Amino acid sequence: MIRNHGPLLLASDWWQSPAAQGGLFALSCHAGALRLLVPRSREGVLNDLRLAEKIEVRVSCDGSMTLSGWPGMPLVIQPEDVSGFQAENHQEWIFAAYTAPRRDRPHKALERPAWVL
């Protein structure tokens, strides 16, 4: 379950899912925003993401998405962990990383411009 208000992520039960418990990332796309859902066990990746001025997104033929733009290793999101993505190449988006809810809402840990290549 995901509840949105435009590009904002208002609620999600994803952090209780087996994927999140297993340390997998998810990407939820809505209203021009690419929202990376970060499992608790992987929140350290936010330190690398904060170094990026802009996030680059490459979509592979198999539907997987590679996120890069910072000095660390790129993140690869598998097609089954992506929801709502429909875009033409070279489209600018908003990228936001969300962590587990605080005060009953997912926490937006950072926001950057993103470019789909």
The predicted model scores a pTM of 0.94
Helix (H) or strand (E) holding 91: strand 91-102
Q: What is the pLDDT of residues 85-98, one digit of tens each?
A: 886 655 789 999 99
Residue 74 CB partners (closer than 8 Å, separation 6+): 66, 67, 68
Place of tokens 């990376």: 36
- In the predicted model, what is the mean pLDDT of residues 70-83? 94
Of the chain, the percentage scoring pLDDT greater than 90 comes to 84
Weakest mean pLDDT among 16-25, 33-42, 55-64, 89-98: 89-98
CB 75 within 8 Å of CB 48: no
Please provide the average confidence, as pLDDT, over all residues in the chain: 93
Token code pair at residue 103: 């005060």
How do beta strands 91-102 and 33-37 pair?
Answer: parallel
